[in-house]
A and B are shown apart, each in its own frame.
Chain A
Amino acid sequence: MRIVQVIGVMLIATLVLPAQAEIKPGQGDLKGHGGPVKSVATSPDGIAIVSGSFDYSMMYWDVADAAKPALRKRFADHDGAVNAVAVLPDGRLAVTGSDDGIVRLLDLQAGNVAHVFNGHDLKVVDLAVSPDGRLLASASWDRTVRVWSLAEKRLLHVLKGHRNTVNAVVFSTDGQFIYSTGTDATIRKWRVEDGSEERVIYRNGWGINVLAALPGGRELAFGALNGTAAVLDIESGEIAHQLAQRDRPILSVAVSPEHKVLAFGGGDGIVSVYDMSDWTPVKLLDNPYGPIWALTFSGDGDTLYLGGLDDTVHYWQFRPGRDFEPARGKFPRRFQADEGLSVGERQFARKCSVCHTLSPDDANRAGPTLYGVFGRKAGTLPGYAYSKALLDSDIVWNADTIGKLFEKGPQHLVPGTKMPLQKMSNTEERDAMIVWLKEQTQSSPDEAKK
């Protein structure tokens, strides 16, 4: 069954994907998110990418022509960062998991939410779809994996056993088992049929962040916080191939069964690609621009899409090898690189700007633009998906109410807001930020200061 699927995908890819002309640096990048990119996935036919971000949204990209990627739809329905994305085998539906603890089933063609799966108590950090597309597994910091029926749109099982956050989940290639891993450093095997735990198949000592099922069904690839990147033999529970030992955690993994390549991305910015037929290294990218949160192979298996601290999903062709050039402009992002700013501007730059702009364009960030915020009634900016709490609020934003917002915290001032619980307890810094914000938002703000 699996072989038929793989051959099918290869045929579709061959028929659909046009011959790629040489793509200039940056040309294949996916630009549009308003925050760091935490997750990426490729559709089974290879012509679409979905990406999830700190900006509370999932983006659906058409990459049939990799040189001219096009944004098809931005889904901004979650009330928190989108940590996990996956495309179903039919390519028409996708799923997202978020900091808000919710899993959403999205209809990519219709552009709407097909279903909302509620149940997790804390953030959802990974998703896996069964090979036949009928089941979904979600991994959460609430220490559980939940198994959902996508066809019946209901919860089937809650997998309990992990003693700390669950960081990753995958289905076996035959769809009969689920493997999960997390901060308790175990990889556990569960029966899909009844949700029971079969056994702990591996203990790493250090927490494990990522997991991938490898073709053939006998091995798993995993990456851990102690920098181990390895292939595990499921039956024996022994390491079959130790691929890397880094100084920083492994944060992402991607596998392309069709093209027999496996890739790991790390907190040190290193991406390493391996040939799964003999486990030799194919290419290594030493990206100095921060962690690689997310990885996925393109349909042709010669390129990786990378997510990190930037708002951009980077396109990197590793075969034949091409140099990697980060996007120009304000990026690569440095959260701490804001020397020489006034106290107020520094507060905004470091604590607010990741979610808000000061220009009319909100740049798809997680929060609404603050352009003209002074004197504006809360929850009234057209086009932004406010929480009900803010829509129902009578607050008018001014120095006093913004001061209270950060003195007492958003949840205290407007219970139910989706703004993160953040306070600025230093009165001097808070006041300086408000004065600076008022200047910037009332006197023809500079477009450059997004």
Chain B
Amino acid sequence: MARMKFLCDAERCIECNACVTACKNEHEVPWGVNRRRVVTINDGKPGERSISVACMHCSDAPCMAVCPVDCFYQSAEGVVLHNKDLCIGCGYCFYACPFGAPQFPQVGNFGSRGKMDKCTFCAGGPEEANSDTEFKKYGRNRLAEGKLPLCAEMCATKALLAGDGDQVANIYRERVVGRGFGSGAWGWGKAYPGSGS
């Protein structure tokens, strides 16, 4: 089975934020939560780069290792998902994630501490695929519909790639060879150690 991965080519991202908007719209993400965002590093200085970031669905996910109530699981396709029924909102994953992926809504019942929300690679959650319950808790399950994440599909410059990790890596490799420079796949080695970076 394919191992799903994200790759953001920092040489191509133009900070248009279409990926962010597509994600919010597709999943009807609540106010205060951005499952995907564009980070600018070295802002206004030489070497400025923009990177579209969300959960990278790491091979050895640090969020899973620190969750005290075992709310995370990894699908057969390598997508890191979580069960909001089990999440107690402790925030351990928030601090452990090197991509800043876990988000906590600002609104909700005080005292509940909020349920963590994050990118699902458009793969829903533990509820029945494409059910109303799944959509309300986790957003659209595009993978169950045979589609890939909308953020990458919407990316005009194809800076953001999503899909079978081997195919994504091959596309990027061809790009680097074609343009003669590279190393813009920010976070790839961090999320998928041993896959080449």
Contact = CB atoms under 8 A, between A and B. Distances in A.
A101 interface: yes
Contacts of A121: 110
A225 B97 contact: yes
Interface in A108-125: 121-123, 125
A141 B109 CA distance: 14
Interface string B106-118: 1001111111000
Nearest to A351: B69
B95 A251 contact: yes
A266 B178 CA distance: 38
B89 interface: yes
Contact of A420 (B64, B88, B126): B88
Interface stretch (A171-179, A190-198, A202-210, A272-280): A202-210
Interface string B155-188: 0000000000000000000000000000000000
B90 interface: yes
A248 B193 CA distance: 13
Contact of B68 (A36, A101, A293, A411): A36
A206 B69 contact: no
Contacts of B96: 248-249, 251, 267, 291
A420 B99 CA distance: 26
B65 interface: yes
A336 B90 contact: no
Interface string A335-368: 1100000000000001100100000000000000
Interface residues of A, number: 51
A350 B98 contact: no
B43 A203 contact: yes
A336 B85 CA distance: 18
Nearest to B133: A425
A100 B89 CA distance: 11
Contacts of A416: 111
Contact of A205 (B40, B85, B92, B106): B40
A423 interface: yes
B66 A309 contact: yes
A422 B86 contact: yes
A99 B65 contact: no
B144 interface: no
Q: Which of A36, A54, A422 has the most CB of B within 10 A?
A: A422
Q: Which of B64, B97, B100 has the most CB of A within 10 A?
A: B100
Interface residues of B, number: 39
B41 A248 contact: no
A142 B106 contact: yes
Contacts of B62: 248, 267, 291
Given A81-B90, A225-B100, A424-B86, A247 B95 contact: no
Interface string B44-73: 000000000000000000101111111000
A407 B70 CA distance: 17
Nearest to A183: B100
Q: Which of B40, B62, B65, B88 has the most CB of A within 10 A?
A: B88
Contact of A336 (B64, B99, B115): B64
Given A336-B64, A351-B70, A422 B41 contact: no
B98 A226 contact: yes
A421 interface: yes
Q: Which of B65, B68, B69 has the most CB of A within 10 A?
A: B68
A249 B68 CA distance: 19
B98 A354 contact: no
B43 A422 contact: no
A32 interface: no
Contacts of A309: 66
Interface in B1-52: 39-43
Contact of A101 (B39, B89, B110): B110
A372 to B, nearest CB: 24
25 contacts: A35-B68, A80-B113, A99-B91, A100-B111, A141-B104, A205-B43, A206-B39, A206-B41, A207-B100, A209-B95, A249-B95, A249-B98, A251-B96, A291-B62, A291-B66, A335-B66, A335-B67, A335-B68, A351-B70, A420-B89, A421-B88, A421-B113, A421-B115, A422-B87, A425-B83
Given A101-B110, A203-B43, A420-B90, 20 more contacts: A36-B92, A54-B68, A80-B113, A121-B110, A141-B104, A183-B100, A206-B41, A207-B100, A225-B97, A225-B99, A249-B98, A267-B62, A351-B70, A411-B111, A411-B112, A418-B111, A422-B69, A422-B86, A422-B88, A423-B85
Interface of B: 39-43, 62, 64-70, 83, 85-92, 95-100, 104, 106, 109-115, 126, 190
